[in-house]
Structure 1
Amino acid sequence: MEETITLKEIMEVLRKNIWIMVATMLLFATVAFGYLQYFVSPKYEAVSQVLITQNAQNQNSAVQNSEIQANIQMVNTYSVVIKSPRILKSAAAEFSQDMSVESLANKVSVDSVQNSQVINIHAVDSQPENAVKIAKIVTQSFLKETPGMMKVSNVELLADASTAQKVSPNMKIGVLAGMFGGLVIGIVIAFVRRMFDDRFKKEEEIVVRLGVPVIGTIGNITASEENGEGQTLKRRRMKK
């Protein structure tokens, strides 16, 4: 027999099991917070900025605009150059400890502001001072190697990395994700309880599931009625 459930019954299931959903939300949020706090290493990011400049000042506005557009197009090329083995190998040699090119590449990322001549060089590390150091060294290596590599001198430092900001783990998002996961689990538990609950909840279920008619019902006896009947029986016994 296929059993259907109405929207009203769904809301009733959720209402009756609200305490389970609240408990699972709090449990999963606590677990997420503890995991992020004690088992996930924090990551810090430092950012340097490089500006693609014009090679020469030209009074012709059309030529200037054309050169600016060309420089914007070159930003993508420079972004690839920054993470090239030549730049990273030169930067890795500046570290006193062993730093491979592959390890350095995993710590560095590059992006640019849309339609601008600014390149952002990001460095991420578990130690804030190391993130700042990596960003500085990679930027200086790029500024040093680019003129000889590209045969141009239109790159200059716009802003050097000085501080590092914590970028992960994001505690707020992690806890919210834990709460959402707990809510989903709580809803699943609520409907599993409803699925395995074989008690009859309506007269129609008796007719459908057992195939017998309902000839009468017994109402619930409240506590006050039960106490009243008890007192009546007690008085009758005392009279006897």
Structure 2
Amino acid sequence: MEETISLKEIFSILRKRLKLIIGLTIGAALISFIITQFFITPQYEASSQFIVSQKETGNETGYDYNEIRSNVEMINTYSVVIKSPRILDQVVEELSLSSTVTQLAKKITVNNAQGSQVVNVTVTDTDPHQAETIANTVVTVFQNTVPGLMNVDNVSILSEANVGNNPAPVSPNLLLNIAIALVLGLMIGVGLAFLLEYLDNTIKSEEDVEETLGLPLMGVVSTITQEEQNGHYNRKKRRRGERIGA
């Protein structure tokens, strides 16, 4: 026969193991705080922008839609070229970086909004000023190299990377990590509470006796504490004293 558990029993189990659940939840949050603050190296970002613009044509009608569309489609090619060894080799050599081209490429993200001619080159590094220098150098090297590489000259720097005097790390996110740890700690605590209850086969109540033996309960032997015994003994002494005095 399948065993069922009522809502009342669930709350009873949670209440009985409440200290365990709270302890695990707080412990998980504390561990997350310590690891995030003291063991994870902060990462900083710096972004530089360039625009892929059409060349001046002298056409009084203004911008050529077909050329703008061509520039937007060319950005996909530029995104690959920027992270290629042809560009990054020069960046590593110019900045005397200790990282390899492959390692440097992993730090660089190139993206643009849908249909936009503006391209963002974002560099992530443990040193914010190093990230700023790399981002600006990558865009400058790309701008100087792409005319000879693709026979086009339509790249202009829109804004240089600047992290400021007091840059804030983009990772790790302390509040997010603590929130995740709280949820995980709570889930583990609740799961462990039900597991301990399931593994606990001791008999604690009259209902447990009837359920285990399948027999009706005839009587209960009460447990008398030492305080109750002392109180009973003192009452007997007082009654004896009252009778003697009478």
- Is TM more than 0.5 here? yes
What residue in structure 1 maps to residue 195 of structure 2?
192
Deviation, 1:101, is 1.2
Alignment deviations for residues 85-104 of structure 1 (CA, whole Å, 9 cap, x no partner): 11111211111344421221
Distance 1:55 1:219 in 2: 98
What residue in structure 2 maps to residue 141 of structure 1?
141
Deviation, 1:19, is 2.2
1:214 to 196, 217, 221: 217
2:176 to 161, 166, 173: 173
Alignment deviations for residues 119-146 of structure 1 (CA, whole Å, 9 cap, x no partner): 1111111111111111111111111111
1:236 to 217, 234, 239: 239
Listed as ranges, the gaps of 5+ residues in structure 2 are: none
Residues 160 and 203 (structure 1), Cα distance of their counterparts in 2 relative to 1, 3 Å cut: same
Distance 2:194 2:75 in 1: 55
Deviation, 1:82, is 0.8
What residue in structure 2 maps to residue 182 of structure 1?
185
Listed as ranges, the gaps of 5+ residues in structure 1 are: none
What residue in structure 2 maps to residue 129 of structure 1?
129
Residues 218 and 66 (structure 1), Cα distance of their counterparts in 2 relative to 1, 3 Å cut: farther
Give the secondary-structure state (helix, strand or coil) at the position aligned to 1:114: coil
What residue in structure 2 maps to residue 54 of structure 1?
54
Question: Letter of the aligned partner of 1:76 in structure 2?
Answer: N
Identity, in percent, stands at: 40
Distance 2:98 2:23 in 1: 49
- In the alignment of these two chains, the number of paired residues is 239
- 1:119 is aligned to 2:122: no
Moved more, 120-129 or 227-236: 227-236
Residues 18 and 204 (structure 1), Cα distance of their counterparts in 2 relative to 1, 3 Å cut: closer
Alignment deviations for residues 168-210 of structure 1 (CA, whole Å, 9 cap, x no partner): 1111111112222211221122112312333446654433321
- 1:18 is aligned to 2:21: no
- 1:100 is aligned to 2:110: no
TM-score (norm 1): 0.85
Distance 1:10 1:139 in 2: 61
Do the aligned partners of 1:71 and 1:117 also contact (CA within 8 Å) in 2?
Answer: yes
TM-score (norm 2): 0.84
Residues 233 and 103 (structure 1), Cα distance of their counterparts in 2 relative to 1, 3 Å cut: same
